[in-house]
A and B are shown apart, each in its own frame.
Chain A
Amino acid sequence: MLSLSVNGQSYPVDVPDDMPLLWVLRDVIGLTGTKFGCGMAQCGACTVHLDGQAVRSCVLPVEAIGNRAITTIEAVGNTPSGQKIQQAWLEVDVVQCGYCQSGQIMAAAALLARTPQPTDQDIDAAMAGNLCRCATYVRIRAAIKQAATGKAEILQTIGSTPEGAVS
């Protein structure tokens, strides 16, 4: 019987040692915010934090975790960088289908925690492992910058309505 620390709570789990954390979270503990996309660390949908570091939970055997603290999308809003990223995500209106966005937000929050003022190159390096088939990449970039600077990124490249207002 392993004990996992997830979002500040301890979970005893009776699972095979080689079972990836992703499936323990989703199918055993019942935290479904972390998503399955590829099963081989190619898409980043399953990204969670281990002691604040972004990791791909679909290839992380539970036996390798030890007593490190697991944070998932359900609780990343309790961290300063996670809170900023989620807020910026809403303000820039990043999401489309939303399926990859848990992983995007986890990767972005980890980036912001270690690099408070990321450059475009920093963003590319940290986020290139997270696929988005809706291709929300333009707004992801804008939202990370907004979270970092606190300065509103332009939501609209359309200057279309008479008011041109951003709601």
Chain B
Amino acid sequence: MSTGTFSPKPEQAVDLQRRQILKSSGLAIAFLWLGGTGAASAMISARRQPGDTAAAMADGNPPFAPNAFIRVDSEGPVRLVMPSVEMGQGIYTGCCMLLAEELGVGLDQIKLEHSPPSDELYGIPALGGQITGGSTSTRSTWSVLREAGAVARSMLVSAAAVQWHVDPSTCTVDRGVVHHAPSGRSASFNQLAATAGRLPMPDKVQLTDPKDFKLIGKPIRRVDAADKVKGATQFGIDVRVPGMKVATVMACPTFNGKLASIDDKATRRVPGVVDVLRLDNAVAVVGEHFWAAKKGMEALVIDWNRGENANLTTRQLQDAIADSARNGKGIVARDDGARPQGTLVQSEYQSPMLAHATMEPMNCTVHVTHDRCEIWTGTQVPMRAAQEAAKITGLPAEKVVLHNQYLGGGFGRRLETDWVEQAVALAKQVPYPLKVVWTREEDIRQDHMRPMYHDVISAVVDANGRPAWFGYRTSGGSVLARFAPGAMGKDGLDDDAVECVVELPYDIPKARVEWIRHDMPPGIIVGWWRGVGPTHNLFVVESFLDELAHRANKDPLEFRRSLLQKNARALGVLNLAAEKIGWGAHPLPPRVGRGIALGEPFGSHVCVVVETEVTAQGEVRLRKVVAAIDVGIAVNTSSIEAQVQGGVLFGLSAALYSELTIKHGAVEQGNFNDYRVLRINEAPVVEVHRVVNAEPPGGLGEVGTAIAAPALANAIFAATGVRLYQLPVDRKLLVQNPEALKSVASASAREGSEVA
């Protein structure tokens, strides 16, 4: 089934005193490949002692807490504190596997805890803080968590050995119990906790030999599934605090507009309405329950000062960004000198603004008192959220307590803190705990949207159509410039804007890559969206590579293969995907095509083949997807399958259906009726195959998303001969002939879903 073999590395001894600091290559935060198995840095460490403020707050003072991740009480399950947040990507299961493998407990013997806000204890070095994003969690914590588990096991074994007066090396650990076979003695971790807690940290620990792994590398079911199938998991929106009221909010629909005035007479007559609160740019109605708040909002007469964006349209933004891409002065990310002689080929591509549309709308519960601010929400950035709350309330940082929750989807939306800031600003006006819940319409219209992009891509090809030079001018807003201005490169380069382009997998000798920074008008805030820079760049690059292949009369697979002879890992996924779908083995029916796309985002290597039918009416019917991925060492192979399946479909969903458009300076879409996303009847089978090796772990959560759109566009070209230069897919371009449209009405009448 798989290519390559798993060659486990010999047993590793980790010297805890002389660990290497993880190197971040230049840019700390642009979601770069981290390199190496990477030992811990100062920010996240297997050696943290209890007594740290945040740790003490979280841990309930257990007798044994050797580091920030492990708590052993005198009774009950071992408690594991999760450095990353769980938003669907399965990281809690992965983290537990790494800790449990080395600690020597079963996944049925543990209890999970969300980590409290703390950059010091739970910060991801590559991201400069406690941030779950950029597909960095496993890459950053893979060795840290194993070491943390090994340290704890070593100390528990030592505790037993001290009590029994035996050599620790004669003891074994199994399912939370230390055994001494020669004397027939055993003691549970609970029984050993108090003694272990008084022992010094070991200088060295022995990590488990990969060949002895019980968990790592296996398909393991999720540790959070049992509660999720019973509706028992508490998401942010499910928090209920005694005395709490519920608010819904409306911010000015026009970007950067302000609240002018309101007439709330009718609102205050709505049964259950408690309060009407104002902010500079928004108004909130508070009720005994969400329904009262929503009815109250509907009854509110609001006058907005719409400001300078009142006449803004999508078209204006597109025209301006296209002009930037064509004529703007770029920041050079790569330049290998003069363009060689040959035929110059050039295309332009456009990508739309996108909403995240997490299934759980933005929400936050806050209780502000004179000396304390308590917050309950699901956030990808607990520390940043707490810091913002401190600023708004004027309270010292230690007076802000944030209880993170399970996230009903993140996709980058919950890397922002705008809704937390808003909820704190509202809650500090009232004495009671306030839960602020956005409507879906607010969630879409007030999103921090994925930026729009415009790209001019070109190549110089030789007589055989092989590229000798590659040119890229990409224009778009910068998320990084706002999110982490200190992480911008020299000359003001945003590395995210050119990620997966500066270094192509292909053997193309020369390139010139430029980013033309094109900020949106004030008030249009762009944000991280699953797959970030690579999602946009790979669409352009891999679509264009397909153009070059067809221009050269080469099969797109063969064309890529010829350019990948020096890149074994990329070639590995290309060949595996081609083999699994049976590329070229059989002729396909009319208007059915296969598209291939390959990339190396987030430290992994991935190739996806999409097979689609395009009806005579221009409707796209996905038939099958095959993905091949090389993530290096796998932690949980079930999770790899799930993330690639979900990630690819997330990317296809956007490419097929999704776009935010602007009219009168406001987002036109508001709910799933006009912001379409993929449904199950539109979802094809997604097969996932893995190239097996023992390379360091790569990123996973965003990889499938980043590579999906170009595979689809290339498949549509193969099916129809129509090249798509703009997303989402425009069906009008794919109509076979005008006659075909006449049957559209009857065709669509056969579709539609049953709602019982």
Contact = CB atoms under 8 A, between A and B. Distances in A.
Contact of B225 (A38, A77, A93, A135): A93
B656 to A, nearest CB: 12
Interface string B626-661: 000000001001101110011111100100000000
A117 B162 CA distance: 61
Contacts of B220: 167
Interface residues of A, number: 80
A82 to B, nearest CB: 10
Contacts of A73: 230-231
B290 A23 contact: yes
B441 to A, nearest CB: 8
B164 interface: no
A161 B637 contact: yes
A90 B679 contact: no
B440 A38 contact: yes
Which has the most chain B C-beta neighbours within 10 Å: A32, A90, A91, A157?
Answer: A157
B680 interface: yes
B1 A159 contact: yes
- The 5 lowest CB-CB distance pairs between A and B, nearest first, are A33-B231, A159-B1, A99-B408, A97-B88, A128-B753
A97 B93 CA distance: 12
Contacts of A93: 221-222, 225, 638, 642
Contacts of B228: 95, 98, 101
Contact of A164 (B1, B88, B295, B681): B1
B669 interface: no
Contact of A135 (B272, B357, B645): B645
B641 A133 contact: no
Contacts of B218: 161, 163, 165, 167
B358 interface: yes
Contact of A34 (B231, B233, B756): B231
B641 A157 contact: yes
A30 B685 CA distance: 38
Interface string A24-45: 0011101111111111111101
A96 B408 CA distance: 9
17 contacts: A27-B290, A35-B359, A36-B290, A38-B440, A39-B671, A90-B221, A90-B229, A94-B229, A97-B359, A101-B229, A128-B679, A156-B641, A158-B2, A158-B690, A160-B690, A161-B218, A165-B219
A38 B671 contact: yes
Given A95-B225, A133-B357, A133-B358, A39 B231 contact: no
Contacts of B219: 155-156, 158, 161, 165-167
Nearest to A100: B359
A58 B92 CA distance: 31
Interface string A136-167: 11111100000000000001111111111111
B527 interface: no
B409 interface: yes
Contacts of A89: 225, 229
A95 B650 contact: no
A5 B219 CA distance: 41
B407 interface: yes
B754 interface: yes
B204 interface: no
Contact of A16 (B272, B406, B648, B678): B272
Interface string A97-109: 1111110010100
Which has the most chain A C-beta neighbours within 10 Å: B234, B271, B649?
Answer: B649
B409 A157 contact: no
A98 B406 contact: yes
Contact of A157 (B229, B357, B359, B688): B688
Contacts of A45: 359
A90 B225 contact: yes
Given A126-B754, A156-B641, A158-B1, 20 more contacts: A23-B291, A27-B289, A39-B439, A55-B756, A93-B638, A95-B222, A96-B90, A96-B646, A97-B358, A98-B225, A98-B228, A99-B359, A99-B408, A99-B409, A110-B756, A128-B680, A130-B680, A155-B638, A157-B641, A164-B1
A131 interface: yes
Contacts of A125: 681, 753-754
Nearest to B231: A33
Contacts of B683: 135, 137-138
A80 to B, nearest CB: 16
A158 B642 contact: no
Contacts of A33: 230-232
A157 B628 CA distance: 11
A43 B646 CA distance: 17
A38 B672 contact: yes
B190 interface: no
A16 B290 CA distance: 12
Contact of B756 (A38, A53, A164): A53
Contacts of A100: 359, 408
A95 B440 CA distance: 22
Nearest to A38: B440
A67 B224 CA distance: 35
Contact of B653 (A35, A96, A135): A135
Interface in A67-88: 72-74, 77, 86
Interface string B502-532: 0000000000000000000000000000000
A86 B1 contact: no
B245 to A, nearest CB: 10
Given A97-B408, A128-B681, A23 B359 contact: no
A93 B220 CA distance: 9
Given A39-B440, A96-B90, A129 B753 contact: yes
B351 to A, nearest CB: 19
B255 interface: no
A157 B687 contact: yes
Interface string B294-334: 11000000000000000000000000000000000000000
A123 interface: yes
Which has the most chain B C-beta neighbours within 10 Å: A45, A96, A129, A140?
Answer: A96
A160 B627 CA distance: 14
Contact of B226 (A35, A40, A90, A132): A90
A161 B229 contact: no
Nearest to B688: A157
Interface stretch (B50-58, B175-183, B235-243, B719-727): B235-243
A2 interface: no
A131 B233 contact: no
Nearest to B411: A133
A85 B671 CA distance: 29
A54 B756 contact: yes
A64 interface: no
Contacts of A126: 754, 756
B595 to A, nearest CB: 19
B700 interface: no
Contacts of B246: 27
Contacts of B679: 128-129, 131, 137
A12 to B, nearest CB: 16
B229 A99 contact: no
B641 A72 contact: no
B680 A156 contact: no
Nearest to B648: A135
Given A42-B671, A97-B359, A159 B681 contact: no
Given A36-B437, A93-B222, A98-B224, A86 B240 contact: no
Interface in A1-23: 15-16, 19-20, 23
Contacts of A38: 440, 671-672
A134 B646 contact: yes
Nearest to A127: B680
B1 A160 contact: yes
A45 B87 CA distance: 16
Given A33-B232, A95-B229, A125-B754, A137 B680 contact: yes
